[in-house]
Homo-oligomer: A and B are copies of this chain.
């Protein structure tokens, strides 16, 4: 186990991520919150999803995701086709307009990050991404105590994109 001071410092830096995200959101166009942008990106990367799956990827409650999805559908960026396998669900998919929107968002975001992180090399960025992915994996699911940790299933749906190797 690491030193307590190391954990404290990690906590402080995690808190600062909030202001970074708010700053990044400033460059997004109208109708595109951070949540909208993330949802579009996930649908662009992972293809068709159901609401629950998207909620899990976003790391927020289904109720939050439901309203977000309504927002995106109202703007014509996604469509919701019936799920033939389960009539309670619908399949979420980017429309061509949504894909164009996503491309624009990606451009803006990449441009802003390149500007803000001009002194970072590719390796730095990938390393941070990988570590954040591992961090998230550690917080998946509800709290399992140290007692039942080994009995737990390996937590499927959220497999990080970056392999998350230690080094």
- Whether A20 contacts B139 by the Cβ 8 Å rule is yes
- Whether A58 contacts B146 by the Cβ 8 Å rule is no
Select which of B119, B121, B132, B138 is within 8 A of A117 by beta carbon: B138
Contact residues of A: prevailing secondary structure: helix
Contact A21 to B16, CB < 8 A, known contacts A106-B8, A138-B117: no
Select which of B3, B117, B122, B162 is within 8 A of A135 by beta carbon: B117
B-contacting residues, A16-44, CB 8 Å: 16-21, 23-24, 26, 34, 37-38, 41-42
- Whether B136 contacts A20 by the Cβ 8 Å rule is yes
Select which of B15, B38, B131 is within 8 A of A131 by beta carbon: B131
Chain A 138-167 per-residue mask, 1 if CB under 8 angstroms from chain B, else 0: 110001011000000000000001100010
Contact of A85 with B by CB under 8 A = no
How many chain A residues touch B (CB < 8 A): the figure is: 66
Select which of B15, B134, B138 is within 8 A of A59 by beta carbon: B15
Residues of B near A60 (CB, < 8 A) are 18-19
So how many copies of this chain end up in the complex?
2
- Whether B10 contacts A128 by the Cβ 8 Å rule is yes
Q: Bound state CA distance, A21 and B13, in angstroms? A: 11
Residues of B near A20 (CB, < 8 A) are 14, 135-136, 139
Contact of A114 with B by CB under 8 A = yes
Contact A120 to B2, CB < 8 A, known contacts A19-B60, A127-B127, A162-B9: yes
- Whether B128 contacts A131 by the Cβ 8 Å rule is yes
- Whether A122 contacts B3 by the Cβ 8 Å rule is yes
